[in-house]
Amino acid sequence: MDRTEKRKPRDRVVGRSQLTPYQTMKRILILWLASSFASFGAVQYSFTNLAGLPGYSNSGTNDGTGRAARFSYPIGVAVGSAGNVFVADQNNSTIRKVTAAGVVTTLAGNPMYGGSEDGTNGEARFSNPAGVAVDHAGNVFVADTYNHTIRKVTPVGTNWVVTAILIVGQMGRMGRMADDPVWPRTP
């Protein structure tokens, strides 16, 4: 008896897919999404480099326009109502503003000196700021990571004034508002 005679014939249907149910559903979903976007005229996006240069070897602290500006680990980004982009430049411990034209300026903090100081412009100190948010009044709120603090950066004329608004303190401790009459409290 030949080996081929011992095998049971497989049920084969011409045109039957060899895909698993998951793969089949995935393909149907992809086709449905593609046809939906095509029928609704999906927006095509393109991305351009607004400021700075990519790559670790190009990091730095320079303010400037476009590719002349330098960042060092820009991690937090928020867009204000005027179209300016605010950046938490983490390794420089600064907060930067990028205009729609690509002009980068340092609003607050000093890349040479980290710390936890309220103040105006470069007198203020941050320690690895990681996130930013902007309200409608143009105030920038900063998650000052290593200081366990939320800071408010307020535009006052041509200056930016930094104040702590929430001090979380050490990990696991309850936070308190900076205007609390018993703040700062010694442990």
Question: What confidence tens digit (pLDDT) does each residue in 5-47 have?
Answer: 555 555 444 445 566 666 666 666 666 666 555 555 556 666 6
The predicted pLDDT at position 25 comes to: 64
Phi (first) and psi of residue 123, to 5 degrees? -75, -25
DSSP E strands, 47-173: 64-65, 74-79, 85-89, 94-98, 103-109, 119-120, 129-134, 140-144, 149-156, 159-167
Question: 52: which residues sit within 8 A by CB, 6+ positions away?
Answer: 58, 67, 69, 70, 71, 74, 104
- Specify the pTM: 0.66
Average pLDDT value for the chain: 77
